[in-house]
C-alpha cells in the first residue's frame, strides 16, 4: 500500500491556502483542517503547490551516451527540479526512430519510477533529414508517441517537413522543429553581432532561426497541422509566432530558462558552459522572449536539458559541445526571470511548466488541476529566500550548468509522482525506495 501524505497549509498555485491529502496515487481531498490517521504530515506553510512540472524538451542520452546521462539519472535530476514528467528527445544511439527504441526508453523510465518518461520520436531516419521515420509505428506503439523532432538538427527540406506535418495529423501528433538554417550557421560559435565580432568567433545570425520558423508556420497553415517551435530565442521569432497566431495557425512555441535570463555577454570569458544551440542572444532578445511568454505568444518553458561529459566542456570554446543541464535549476530561474519581476504569477507558472506542455504532448494524467480525484503529480516550491546554486544541487551525471556559483531564489522542497514522494524536503528519495 502506498504512503499517504497530508500537506498542510499549502498555497495552491500562489492563491488560496488549503490542506491536500494524497492517497493511493491520487489527490483524495483538498480543504481546511483535514486529518488522516497514519498519514505522513508535511508542513507546507509558505510553500507553493503546483501541478507536477512537465518538460517537453529533455535530452536523457540513453541508449548510447550513458557517460553523459541515463534515463535513471536524468529522472533523478528531474525529480530534484520538481518535474513529474519528461519528454525525451530522440538524439540517442541508436536514434529513437523506431517503435523498438521508443518502447525501450519507456520501459527504462518505468523501471526508474521517479517520473513519467515520454519518448519523442525522430522525424527522419537517423535524424538525417532524408526520409521520414516510422512515425505511425511509433505513434501506435506502447509508447504512444505524439511528439516528433529531429532536435539537434533542423528538418531543413521543406518537402520532408510538409510530409511530416501531413502524416502526424492522422494521430493528432505534432512536429517540434529545431529552427536553424544549416547553411546560414556553418561553423557558428555564438550569436552573430558586435560581441562575436570583437571575440573573433563565427556568428549564428537570428535570421537562421527566424527564416525556418516563418517557412514552417506557413507550411503548417497550408496543411492544417500542429507545429511546435523548440527553444525560440530571438525577438524576431517572437514577432513571427505572434503574427502566425493572429492568422490562426496551429503553432506553439517554447523558451528555455537560460534564454529568459542569460545573454551573449557571457561568451566573453570563453567559458564553454555558456555555449549552447541556439546561442545566448542579446539583451533585447531576452526582454522580447520574456514579454512573449508573459503575453502568451510563447506557450511554455522547456529546459533543453543537455548533459555532456566533463571533457566535452573543459576545452577550448570552438571544440566544446553545445548544451547546458537545466532540470534542477529551471523553476528557480523562472522565478528569478519572470515571477520575481512581476511578469508571471505562480498560476501562470503552472500553465507554462505543467498544463500546456502536457497538452501539447498529449500526455494523459499530467498537467491536471489540483483537485480531488486527479493524479497526485505535485510540486511544492519554497519561493522564500535565496542561495547559491552548486554542484551538490545537480543529480545527473553531468555538471555543465551555467548557474554554478550563482545565487538563485527559491527551493524545490517536495516532488510527488503518482503519490510517491520522489523528493522529500529537498532530499532525493533513494532509487530503491522509489522503485519499490
Please tell me whether residue 244 adopts helix, strand or coil conformation.
Answer: helix
Cα–Cα dist 285/380, whole Å: 31
> Which residues neighbour 342 within 8 Å (Cβ) at sequence distance 6 or greater?
none
Cα–Cα dist 298/343, whole Å: 13
Cα–Cα dist 105/118, whole Å: 8
Judge whether 272 and 201 are in contact, CB under 8 Å.
Answer: no
- Beta strand 48-51 with 5-12 is parallel
Cα–Cα dist 195/159, whole Å: 36
Q: What is the DSSP letter of 122?
A: P
- List helix spans (H) across 205-328: 206-223, 235-247, 257-261, 283-294
Verify whether residue 283 is a known catalytic residue. no
CA dihedral sign of residues 229, 232, 237, 238: positive
Give the CA angle between residues 15, 85, 117 to the nearest 5°. Answer: 175
Q: What is the DSSP letter of 279?
A: P
Tell me which of 19, 55, 285, 304 is the catalytic residue: 304
Cα–Cα dist 124/137, whole Å: 13
Query: What are the catalytic residues?
Result: 304
Amino acid at each position: 500500500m502506498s504512503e499517504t501524505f497530508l500537506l498542510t497549509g499549502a498555497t495552491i498555485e500562489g492563491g488560496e491556502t488549503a490542506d491536500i491529502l494524497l492517497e493511493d496515487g491520487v489527490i483524495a481531498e483538498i480543504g481546511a483542517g483535514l486529518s488522516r490517521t497514519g498519514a505522513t504530515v508535511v508542513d507546507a506553510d509558505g510553500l507553493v503547490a503546483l501541478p507536477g512540472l512537465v518538460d517537453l524538451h529533455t535530452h536523457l542520452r540513453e541508449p548510447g551516451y550513458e557517460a553523459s546521462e541515463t534515463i535513471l539519472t536524468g529522472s533523478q535530476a528531474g525529480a530534484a527540479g520538481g518535474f513529474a514528467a519528461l519528454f525525451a528527445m530522440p538524439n540517442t544511439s541508436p536514434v529513437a526512430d523506431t517503435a523498438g527504441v521508443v518502447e525501450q526508453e519507456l520501459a527504462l523510465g518505468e523501471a526508474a519510477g521517479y517520473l513519467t518518461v515520454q519518448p519523442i520520436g525522430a522525424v527522419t531516419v537517423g535524424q538525417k533529414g532524408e526520409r521520414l521515420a516510422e512515425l505511425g509505428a511509433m505513434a501506435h506503439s506502447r509508447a504512444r508517441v505524439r511528439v516528433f523532432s529531429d532536435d539537434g538538427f533542423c528538418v531543413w527540406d521543406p518537402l520532408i517537413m510538409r510530409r511530416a506535418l501531413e502524416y502526424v495529423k492522422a494521430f493528432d501528433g505534432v512536429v517540434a522543429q529545431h529552427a536553424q538554417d544549416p547553411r546560414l550557421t556553418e561553423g557558428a560559435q555564438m550569436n552573430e553581432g558586435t560581441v562575436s565580432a570583437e571575440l573573433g568567433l563565427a556568428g549564428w545570425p537570428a535570421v537562421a532561426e527566424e527564416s525556418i520558423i516563418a517557412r514552417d508556420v506557413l507550411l503548417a497553415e497550408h496543411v492544417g497541422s500542429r507545429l511546435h517551435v523548440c527553444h525560440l530565442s530571438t525577438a524576431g521569432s517572437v514577432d513571427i509566432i505572434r503574427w502566425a497566431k493572429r492568422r490562426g495557425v496551429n503553432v506553439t512555441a517554447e523558451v528555455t530558462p537560460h534564454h529568459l535570463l542569460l545573454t551573449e555577454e557571457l561568451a566573453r570569458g570563453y567559458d564553454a558552459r555558456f555555449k549552447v544551440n541556439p546561442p545566448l542572444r542579446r539583451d533585447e532578445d531576452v526582454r522580447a522572449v520574456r514579454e512573449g511568454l508573459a503575453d502568451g505568444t510563447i506557450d511554455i518553458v522547456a529546459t533543453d536539458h543537455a548533459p555532456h561529459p566533463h571533457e566535452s566542456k573543459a576545452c577550448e570554446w570552438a571544440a566544446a559541445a553545445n548544451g547546458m543541464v537545466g532540470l534542477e535549476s529551471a523553476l528557480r530561474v523562472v522565478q528569478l526571470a519572470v515571477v520575481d519581476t512581476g511578469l508571471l504569477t505562480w498560476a501562470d507558472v503552472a500553465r507554462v511548466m505543467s498544463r500546456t506542455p502536457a497538452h501539447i504532448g498529449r500526455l494523459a494524467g499530467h498537467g491536471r488541476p489540483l483537485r480531488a480525484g486527479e493524479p497526485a503529480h505535485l510540486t511544492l516550491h519554497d519561493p522564500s529566500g535565496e542561495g547559491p546554486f552548486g554542484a551538490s544541487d545537480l543529480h545527473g551525471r553531468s555538471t555543465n550548468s551555467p548557474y554554478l556559483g550563482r545565487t538563485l531564489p527559491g527551493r524545490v522542497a517536495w516532488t510527488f509522482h503518482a503519490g510517491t514522494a520522489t523528493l522529500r524536503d529537498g532530499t532525493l528519495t533513494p532509487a530503491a525506495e522509489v522503485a519499490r
